[in-house]
Amino acid sequence: MLKRYRLIWERRAILDTLVRRDLRVRYARSWLGYLWTIIDPLSMALIYFVVFALIFKRPDAGYHPYFLFLVIGLLVWQWFNASINETSRALLAEAKLVRSTNLPRELWVIRVVLAKGLEFLLSLPVLVVIALIYMITGTTHLNWRLIMFPFAIVLQAFLQLGIGMLLAPTTVLADDTIRVVRIFLRMLFYATPIIYALNLVNGWAAHLFWLNPLSGIMEMYRAGFFPESVARGPIVTSIIISVGFFIWGAYTFARLERAVLKEI
């Protein structure tokens, strides 16, 4: 396994080319281009803010300020949702190249997560602007736990790589996987503390939510922006599950590679 990933590191220049290609293709025919990365989560954040804060009068569904809370959650979810959807089709979408080149096949999964990760990083200036506005008005204050933000990015990347390496070969061998993934992602959105705070979940359900690795990751992203105490249990659980998914995904991908090459 170490030999496979050493080979991937040696091919990092090719990986860089693939990521750049993905970004160019994504925005080549779009007038707004990069702005779509921002428009989608901001529009959804506005909708949820109007529904919960103005219509149902429940801005306490998340930390205050609620709009900042929503923007962080939806930006993170956008990266996760796009990565899982596209990594599940990564080998099928590039079937000819996967079959005809001698590149490590994991590259096709890694390039999706990295490309979507760059889009996530490019959307962060909007988060900075919104946070600055709330800081100027005295509505929010940053704290030292902001150092958890970059660790959350790395942890989320490992989680998505692990899931992607599980799904990519499975999709080649079973077409129904894509449909199952779409249904699962819709359910996972509401099972993840994106539009509500994790501390609102009580009793046995709270521990059940800990099994969702995105719960702890969301806590890490938001920790530096809000004064509320950070739930350590979900964070530790997220670290263990994310690393576990990565190891499981890497092992499964290697085991199924020959079957995948025969199928495509």
pLDDT tens-digit map of 155-207 = 999 999 999 999 999 999 988 899 999 999 999 999 999 999 988 888 778 88
Q: How confident is the model at residue 28 (pLDDT cuts 50, 70, 90)?
A: low
Q: Which residue has the higher pLDDT, 38 or 141?
A: 141
User: How many Å apart are CA 129 and CA 182, to the nearest integer?
Assistant: 32
Q: How confident is the model at residue 15 (pLDDT cuts 50, 70, 90)?
A: confident
User: How many Å apart are CA 157 and CA 214, to the nearest integer?
Assistant: 11
- Asked whether the predicted pLDDT for residue 36 surpasses 80, the reply is no
- Asked whether the predicted pLDDT for residue 17 surpasses 80, the reply is yes
Task: Give, in degrees to the nearest 5, the angle at Cα 85 between 40 and 158.
Answer: 100
Q: Which residue has the higher pLDDT, 22 or 128?
A: 128
Average pLDDT score over residue span 128-143:
92
State percent of the chain over pLDDT 70.
97
Q: How confident is the model at residue 237 (pLDDT cuts 50, 70, 90)?
A: very high
Any idea where the domains of the chain sit in the sequence? 2-263
Q: What does the pLDDT read at residue 102?
A: 80
Three-state DSSP at 40 gives helix
Q: What does the pLDDT read at residue 33?
A: 64
Q: What does the pLDDT read at residue 164?
A: 95
Under 8 Å between Cβ of 104 and 4 = yes
Residue among 238, 245, 253 at smallest CA distance from 76: 238
Average pLDDT score over residue span 64-83:
94
pTM of the model: 0.91
Q: What does the pLDDT read at residue 20?
A: 86
Q: What does the pLDDT read at residue 9?
A: 83
Q: What does the pLDDT read at residue 30?
A: 61
Residues ≥6 apart with Cβ < 8 Å to 138: none
State percent of the chain over pLDDT 90.
52
The neighbour count for residue 178, using CB atoms within 10 Å, is 15
Under 8 Å between Cβ of 40 and 136 = no
What's the mean pLDDT when you consider all of the chain? 89
Ramachandran angles phi, psi of 70, nearest 5°: -65, -45
